[in-house]
Amino acid sequence: MTQGYFITGTDTGIGKTWSTIALMQYFKNHGKTVLGMKPVASGCIELDGQLKNEDALLIQKYASVSLPYQDINPYAFELPVSPHIAAQAVGANIDLDEIVSKYQQLEKQADVVLVEGVGGWRVPLNAHQDVADLARQLDLSVIVVVGMRLGCINQAKLTFAAIQQAGVICSGWIASCVEQDMLMLEENIQTLSLAVNMPLLGVLPYMNHLDPERLSREIAIES
């Protein structure tokens, strides 16, 4: 049976994609075939006549199976703004049922499928639904990426409270070191470990360049 995880974060730009790649490599190293998906992306650029997102391209690159870009990122928007606004700007509507259908196609082709959300847990996707609704409809266990910087304790506690309120399963969290020299890093990680009552799956070090193998060695997930 396919394992599936939904990767969310405490904010935008805090390492969700690198965490997703690290998890993909981790599962590949454990003999699994792995696919990733970034259903919604804003801030895309045109490549080969198609809007594409840098993060989604990385997810496509590190997958075990070669898939068309459209299968990985069905909703791609040019404007680097909240996805519901980017969609409205071009007269589009993000349909969660379509995303679920795409996911169901992917899960038939791999042992593990990782779905990366957009922004944080409550980012709107359309007029009535947000990232939390998407995670619920996909019925996936959630992994939270916490960007380790000043303010992260508050953001993480609020995110975990919202996830608990949503009634979804949370498999744990990843500490993503987005600052090269965060003051009192270990103390912040310890505070969160005691506060959120969810397992810490890994601490990803600050890096200038993506190294999936190096990052995967920092991940540990109980079977």
| Digit-coded pLDDT (tens) for 191-202 | 999 999 899 999
* pLDDT score, position 123: 97
CA distance 130 to 111: 27
State whether residue 5 is helix, strand or coil: strand
The model's pTM:
0.96
- Does residue 223 have a pLDDT over 80? no
- Does residue 222 have a pLDDT over 90? no
Is the domain covering 3-40+96-216 a CATH 3.40.50.300 domain? yes
User: What count of other Cβ atoms lies within 10 Å of the Cβ of residue 137?
Assistant: 14
Mean pLDDT (the chain) is 96
* pLDDT score, position 1: 72
* pLDDT score, position 61: 97
- Chain position carrying tokens 């998890």: 23
Span 86-104, average pLDDT = 97
Catalytic residue list = 38
Span 92-101, average pLDDT = 98
* pLDDT score, position 58: 97
CA distance 189 to 183: 11
Span 133-147, average pLDDT = 97
CA distance 173 to 201: 6
Domain extent listing, the chain: 3-40+96-216
- Does residue 79 have a pLDDT over 90? yes
CA distance 40 to 51: 12
